[in-house]
């Protein structure tokens, strides 16, 4: 286990499980808050290699297996996949350093992210945070020592860049305080000051100037819609979603080049692709407005896009150079300002226009209404829209809304 003195906990495990596997050539291909949603190992480009490395790290997080166990697993994984050229290869010292970086960084960052969520959940009762330096470190960083004991409101922007850990091997931590704790320690909340500006990253290693877990939210339904919407927008624009889609598209293209796909029809090919490639990954692509959620009979405001559906989309779009990943960033505006929503058997279709072109998004919900998934996003046609109206029930029309009419949500 890591040396921060705590067993794994639910928030930490959930944070790590919800990450997407992404290939990267360099350690800084993914930086800062993007790590909240991506599992990467620099130089690991093969999907199966990344998946096996992640599984080995997950054992440390979920089961408390040791660094030595991870090193044994690492050796087996490297041999299995024939991975060469990785930084540290060729010497015992290099292997020891690299395995420690992979193992310790993921354990400490996942711990910090889970801790961040816990601190957020109790912020109404313990509204202050304190920076705590780990005094067992042999060679402490001067700035981290200087920050030791810093107390600020939990919402102070300083924590957005200085929430521990703040570098490779950093063992600092953050603890929460109630008003009575400040009183006990003789701290006047009116005199709290930052030790540095929030954007002054002196003392923070490159790529570590962020709060692990701040942009990862296991349950967006816990947040007001406006905040959830901003969080999803940030997540959709930091590059992780694009790389995730690119990874899936590349995997689909690679699979389709294999002989066993040559004589398969569309449905059979998609089924085989899903069985081979799906890792049950999900990504939030929009925060559903409350009025639309009510019309759709949903008990969630989070619209998810799964790799199960992304694989089908990649197959369907493989010969369409005009349909890019950027279209998915329109999903939020689709739900904010649709032209028409039709309830059909087992799904809803949302129709909208952008730059004069008709699009349709297909949304499905779980039986309880607690889950909503984007199944498809594609160009639409007027005759297809008319057919949907004949087969289904219009539960929202833009012209009716503008006229002041109100369609009632399902009972």
In whole angstroms, how far apart are CA 26 and each of 41, 140, 199? 8, 27, 25
pLDDT of residue 106: 95
Q: Where are the domains of the chain?
A: 10-191, 220-403
Of all residues in the chain, what percent are helix, strand and coil, respectively (each to 5)? 45, 15, 40
DSSP state of 392: S
Give the pLDDT score at 7: 66
Q: How far apart are CA 355 and CA 375, in angstroms?
A: 23
How many residues are recorded in the chain? 411
Tokens (6 digits) for 148 = 């030791």
pLDDT tens-digit profile, the chain (411 residues): 344 445 678 899 989 998 989 988 888 888 888 898 899 999 999 989 999 999 999 999 999 999 999 999 999 999 999 999 999 999 999 999 999 999 999 999 999 999 998 998 899 899 999 999 998 888 899 999 999 999 999 999 999 999 999 999 899 999 999 999 999 999 999 999 999 999 999 999 999 999 998 877 667 888 889 988 988 998 898 888 998 999 999 999 999 999 999 999 999 999 999 999 998 888 999 999 999 999 888 999 999 999 999 999 999 887 777 778 888 998 998 899 999 999 988 889 999 988 788 889 999 998 877 889 999 998 889 999 999 999 999 999 987 655 554 444 433
CA–CA distance from 98 to each of 71, 90, 208, 225, 240 (Å)? 10, 11, 18, 42, 24
Span between the terminal Cα atoms of the chain, in Å: 51
Residue 136: what pLDDT? 83
Alpha helices in 122-239 (DSSP H): 142-147, 159-162, 179-184, 225-236
Helix (H, G, I), strand (E, B) or coil at 350: strand
pLDDT at 244: 92
Residue 65 has a pLDDT of 92
H-assigned helices in 216-375: 225-236, 240-256, 266-277, 290-296, 307-317, 331-336
Q: What's the whole-model pTM score? A: 0.71
| pLDDT for 307 | 93
Q: According to the model, what pLDDT value does residue 29 have? A: 84
Query: For residues 32 and 160, what is the distance between their CA atoms, to the nearest angstrom?
Result: 11
CA distance 45 to 6: 32
Task: Give the contacts of 385 (CB within 8 A, at least 6 positions apart).
Answer: 340, 351, 358, 360
């Amino acid at each position: 286990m890591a040396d921060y003195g705590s067993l794994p906990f639910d928030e930490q495990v959930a944070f790590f499980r919800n990450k997407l596997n992404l290939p990267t050539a360099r350690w800084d291909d993914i930086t800062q808050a993007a790590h909240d949603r991506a599992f990467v190992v620099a130089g690991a480009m093969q999907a199966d290699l990344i998946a096996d490395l992640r599984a080995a790290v997950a054992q440390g997080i979920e089961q408390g297996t040791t660094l030595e166990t991870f090193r044994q697993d690492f050796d087996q994984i490297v041999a299995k996949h024939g991975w060469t050229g990785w930084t540290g290869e060729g010497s015992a010292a290099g292997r020891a350093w690299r395995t420690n970086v992979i193992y310790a960084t993921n354990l400490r960052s996942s711990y910090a992210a889970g801790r961040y969520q816990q601190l957020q959940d109790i912020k109404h009762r313990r509204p202050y945070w304190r920076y705590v330096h780990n005094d067992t470190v042999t060679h402490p960083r001067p700035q981290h020592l200087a920050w030791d004991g810093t107390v600020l409101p939990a919402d102070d922007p300083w924590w957005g860049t200085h929430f521990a850990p703040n570098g490779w091997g950093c063992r600092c931590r953050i603890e929460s305080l109630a008003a009575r704790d400040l009183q006990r320690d003789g701290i006047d909340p009116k005199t709290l000051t930052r030790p540095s500006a929030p954007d002054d990253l002196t003392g923070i290693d490159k790529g570590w100037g962020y709060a692990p877990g701040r942009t990862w939210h296991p349950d967006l339904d816990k947040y007001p819609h406006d905040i959830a919407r901003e969080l999803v927008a940030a997540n959709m624009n930091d590059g992780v979603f694009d790389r995730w889609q690119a990874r899936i598209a590349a995997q689909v293209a690679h699979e389709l080049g294999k002989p066993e796909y040559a004589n398969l029809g569309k449905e059979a090919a998609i089924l085989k692709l899903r069985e081979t490639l799906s890792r049950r990954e999900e990504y939030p692509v929009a925060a559903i407005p409350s009025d639309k959620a009510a019309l759709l009979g949903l008990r969630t405001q989070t619209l998810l896009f799964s790799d199960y559906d992304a694989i089908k989309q990649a197959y369907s779009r493989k010969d369409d150079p005009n349909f890019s990943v950027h279209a998915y960033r329109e999903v939020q505006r689709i739900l904010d300002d649709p032209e028409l929503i039709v309830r059909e058997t087992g799904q809803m279709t949302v129709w909208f226009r952008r730059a004069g072109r008709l699009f349709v998004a297909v949304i499905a919900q779980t039986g309880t209404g607690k889950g909503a998934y984007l199944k498809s996003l594609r160009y639409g046609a007027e005759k297809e829209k008319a057919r949907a109206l004949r087969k289904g029930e219009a539960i929202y029309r833009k012209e009716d809304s503008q006229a002041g009419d109100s369609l009632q949500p399902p009972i």
